[in-house]
């Protein structure tokens, strides 16, 4: 039983380790506000990604891309995968361009720095949504 | 562990551990990476082919959105017989876009055709042909650059335009100020006045090849209208008081300016029809209202006023009604300029001993500083509302023009032969 409890609190298991698709493992669980990840941590991560995400010149319409990212305790990358919504659109070249640029940003930016190690369970998995709509307004 | 136990454990984990909730982060900004583009010399005429390609490449590079590839790296040589480029050669030098062109001349006539290629997709993205005169080659290059810019960014271009500004020389106490005009890339530079009388605040007509400006010939500043093609000038009359900051209305038929009557210094906004020369007062403050600028749809006017105490920015309807203050930050605000896209107002701000060029939405929200320095002012917009030009003075009095993208990136000095201030950007030139 002790082993089982330890497994429960180790964060969201990576699909390759449990052989389960992302959708079935956590269908639409909203962000838990009791999760102790401070706003400053979130801002810190955002600022790192802002620098890594190369947006193509004069992008007038950039599709929204969502990527699920698994991290080690030191902030380095375990794996990054497109969510099902994003993966479904990859046949569209413009969409694929945008998706690949977002994926490159994730790879360029990891290891992420400044993440609180004592709150690892809260950030071992992050879902990033790349959405330029605000900047292009 | 048997499968039933494993399943029970998995279910127990899902139910018992809200700590499995996802951390979701929105990334809403990126940094714009310039698009690598190759612009080989246009085929058909060695000198013109190089000149036109160089101007196109320089325009694209200056926008900050494109990165022309060094010509010496090119593998394929484009000539007049090239139908389709060898895309692999261009991918190899890192190009994502490729511009090819062909020139033919007959006497003074010039025909230029260009094609824009999507190297990754291996297909033509745009193509056009132009017929003109040889001495018009620069304009053709700018028009081609605008086509390329527009096709790849989805916005209208701004390269086929001009800048009029105040060229300054001499010691600070006896400054000579003359009007000058140049293409937006600094070429074709010409002085418009000879410096005998101080000339200030030149502004382009939105519809015709004319400018208005203030001249200090005589004691009072007078507003002059000048035809840029013929050089003919006329005074728009002397007003009972000092007039400042004249600008055209968006239809080009009237001007708007501020006039100070009497000795009190009270300054209000007036419009004047260029046809009838009738003056019409718009504001009625007992302070100083100045620096008016119209929204591109002609419905609203933004201006600078100290009616609330310190210099702030206000908007009002074109008939003078519904005056609203829109600047609320610390410091003083001035020289507002409404973007040709209508979506932003640029301004100068002075706060904490520092000068800023900033933008805000017409309702005053979203205020952002684009640049700051010891002394800078007087923003003017590119025709597509994406670039702002302004002047900056350093502690030694050296004054130059700078441009910056509306996102705050790509700050550059604009080349001028001598010191420069108070720039005004023309609309796109008529074809």
Domain membership flag for residue B6: no
For chain A, say whether B21 makes contact (Cβ under 8 Å): yes
Closest CA to B43 of B17, B12, B77, B69: B77
Least confident interval from A31-35, B261-265, B340-344: A31-35
The minimum CA-CA distance between A76 and chain B, rounded to whole Å, is 17
**Per residue in B317-352, pLDDT tens?**
999 999 999 999 889 999 999 999 999 999 999 999
- Interface pTM (ipTM) of the complex? 0.77
Quote the pLDDT of residue B234: 92
* Contact of B255 with B269, CB cutoff 8 Å: no
Quote the pLDDT of residue B171: 87
Q: Which of B153, B176, B197 is the endpoint of a domain?
A: B153
Q: Give the domain range for residue B261.
A: 162-425
Quote the pLDDT of residue B118: 86
Structural domains in chain B (count): 2
* Contact of B141 with B174, CB cutoff 8 Å: no
The angle subtended at Cα B206 by Cα B164 and Cα B315, nearest 5°, is 100
- Per-residue pLDDT at B98 exceeds 70: yes
pLDDT band at A30 (very low <50, low <70, confident <90, very high): very low
List the single residue in B17, B21, B26 with the smallest CB-CB distance to A129: B26
Same domain, B180 and B271: yes
* Contact of B209 with B164, CB cutoff 8 Å: no
**Per residue in B37-81, pLDDT tens?**
999 999 999 999 999 999 999 999 999 989 999 999 999 999 999
* Contact of B154 with A61, CB cutoff 8 Å: yes
Percent of chain B with pLDDT over 90: 76
Same domain, B356 and B210: yes
Q: Within the 72-111 window of chain A, which residues sit less than 8 Å (CB to CB) from chain B?
A: 93, 102, 105
Same domain, B189 and B323: yes
Same domain, B148 and B266: no
Interface test with B, best of A1, A58, A96, A110 (most B CBs within 10 A): A58
DSSP B274: T
Same domain, B121 and B170: no
Q: What are phi and psi for residue B59, nearest 5 degrees? A: -60, -50
Same domain, B202 and B269: yes
Q: Do A134 and B19 touch (CB under 8 A)?
A: no
Q: Which of B120, B153, B186 is the endpoint of a domain?
A: B153
Question: Which residues have CB under 8 Å from B429's CB, separation 6+?
Answer: B139, B160, B161, B162
CATH of the domain at B177: 2.120.10.30
CATH of the domain at B62: 3.40.50.10070
CA dihedral over A94, A97, A103, A108, signed as positive or negative = negative
Quote the pLDDT of residue B3: 58
**Chain A, nearest residue to B15 by Cα:** A8
Domain membership flag for residue B14: no
**Per residue in B395-429, pLDDT tens?**
988 999 999 998 888 899 999 999 999 999 999 99
Same domain, B327 and B259: yes
d(CA B279, CA B261): 13
Question: Would you mind telling me the total number of residues written for chain B in this entry?
Answer: 431
For chain B, say whether A53 makes contact (Cβ under 8 Å): yes
For chain A, say whether B27 makes contact (Cβ under 8 Å): yes
DSSP per-residue letters across B118-149:
ETTTTEEEEEEEEEEEGGGHHHHHHHHHHHHH
**Per residue in B276-312, pLDDT tens?**
999 999 999 999 999 999 999 999 999 999 999 899 9
Same domain, B208 and B119: no
Domain membership flag for residue B26: no
**Per residue in A49-58, pLDDT tens?**
988 888 865 5
Q: Do B31 and A12 touch (CB under 8 A)?
A: no
Q: Report, as an integer, the average pLDDT of B220-234.
A: 91
Same domain, B239 and B340: yes
Identify the bridge partners of residue B181 per DSSP, sorted by sequence position: B164, B190
**Per residue in A70-118, pLDDT tens?**
999 999 999 999 999 899 988 887 788 788 888 888 988 889 999 998 8
For chain B, say whether A60 makes contact (Cβ under 8 Å): yes
**CA–CA distance from B188 to each of B215, B361, B399, B401 (Å)?**
24, 35, 21, 17
Question: Which residues have CB under 8 Å from A84's CB, separation 6+?
Answer: A22, A23
pLDDT band at A128 (very low <50, low <70, confident <90, very high): very high
Q: Do B25 and A105 touch (CB under 8 A)?
A: no
Residue numbers in B near A54 (CB within 8 A): 30-33
Same domain, B408 and B294: yes
User: In this predicted model, which residue has the larger pLDDT, A5 or B5?
Assistant: B5
The minimum CA-CA distance between A43 and chain B, rounded to whole Å, is 9
**Chain B, nearest residue to A4 by Cα:** B9
Secondary structure of residue A18 in the 3-state scheme: helix
pLDDT band at A6 (very low <50, low <70, confident <90, very high): very low
Same domain, B61 and B210: no
Closest CA to B292 of B321, B242, B326, B255: B255
């Amino acid at each position: 039983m002790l082993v089982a409890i330890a497994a429960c609190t180790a964060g969201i298991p990576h699909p390759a380790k449990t052989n389960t698709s992302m959708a079935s493992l956590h269908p639409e669980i909203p962000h838990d506000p009791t999760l102790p990840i401070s706003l400053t941590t979130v801002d810190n991560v955002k600022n790192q990604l802002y620098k890594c995400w190369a947006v193509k010149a004069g992008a007038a319409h950039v599709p929204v891309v969502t990527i699920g990212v698994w991290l080690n305790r030191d902030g380095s990358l375990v794996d990054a995968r497109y969510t099902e919504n994003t993966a479904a659109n990859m046949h569209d070249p413009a969409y694929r361009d945008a998706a690949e640029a977002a994926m490159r940003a994730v790879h360029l930016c990891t290891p992420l720095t400044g993440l609180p190690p004592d709150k690892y369970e809260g950030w071992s998995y992050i879902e990033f949504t790349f959405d330029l709509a605000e900047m292009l307004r | 562990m048997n499968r039933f136990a494993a399943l029970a454990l998995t279910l127990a984990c899902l139910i018992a551990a809200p700590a499995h909730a996802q951390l979701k982060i929105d990334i809403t900004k990126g940094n714009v990476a310039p698009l690598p583009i190759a612009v080989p010399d246009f085929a058909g005429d060695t000198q013109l082919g190089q000149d036109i390609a160089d101007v196109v490449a320089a325009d694209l590079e200056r926008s900050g959105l494109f990165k022309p590839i060094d010509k010496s790296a090119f593998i394929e040589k484009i000539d007049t017989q090239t139908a389709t480029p060898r895309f692999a050669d261009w991918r190899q030098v890192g190009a994502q876009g490729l511009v090819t062109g062909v020139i033919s001349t007959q006497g003074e006539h010039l025909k230029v055709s260009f094609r824009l290629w999507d190297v990754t997709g291996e297909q033509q993205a745009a193509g056009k042909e132009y017929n003109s005169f040889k001495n018009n080659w620069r304009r053709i290059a700018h028009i081609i650059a605008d086509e390329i810019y527009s096709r790849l960014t989805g916005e209208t271009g701004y390269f086929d335009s001009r800048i009029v500004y105040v060229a300054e020389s001499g010691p600070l106490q006896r400054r000579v100020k003359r009007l000058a005009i140049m293409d937006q890339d600094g070429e074709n530079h010409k002085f418009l006045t000879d410096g005998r009388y101080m000339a200030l605040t030149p502004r382009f007509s939105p519809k015709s090849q004319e400018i208005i400006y203030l001249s200090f010939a005589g004691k009072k500043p007078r507003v002059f209208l000048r035809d840029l093609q013929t050089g003919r000038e006329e005074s728009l009359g002397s007003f009972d008081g000092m007039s400042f900051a004249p600008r055209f209305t968006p239809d080009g038929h009237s001007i708007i300016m501020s006039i100070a009557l009497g000795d009190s210094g009270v300054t209000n906004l007036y419009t004047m029809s260029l046809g009838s020369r009738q003056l019409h007062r718009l504001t009625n403050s007992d302070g100083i209202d100045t620096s008016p600028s119209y929204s591109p749809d002609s419905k609203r006017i933004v201006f600078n006023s100290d009616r609330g105490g310190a210099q702030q920015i206000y908007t009002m309807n074109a008939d003078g009604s519904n005056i609203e203050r829109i600047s609320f930050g610390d410091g003083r605000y001035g020289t507002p300029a409404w973007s040709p896209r209508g979506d932003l107002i640029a301004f100068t701000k002075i706060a904490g001993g520092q000068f800023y060029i900033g933008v805000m939405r017409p309702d005053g929200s979203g205020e952002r500083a684009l640049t700051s320095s010891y002394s800078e002012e007087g923003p003017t917009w590119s025709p597509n509302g994406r670039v702002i030009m302004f002047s900056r003075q350093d502690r030694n009095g050296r004054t130059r023009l700078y441009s910056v993208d509306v996102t705050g990136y790509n700050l550059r000095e604009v080349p001028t032969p001598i010191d420069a201030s108070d720039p005004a950007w023309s609309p796109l030139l008529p074809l």
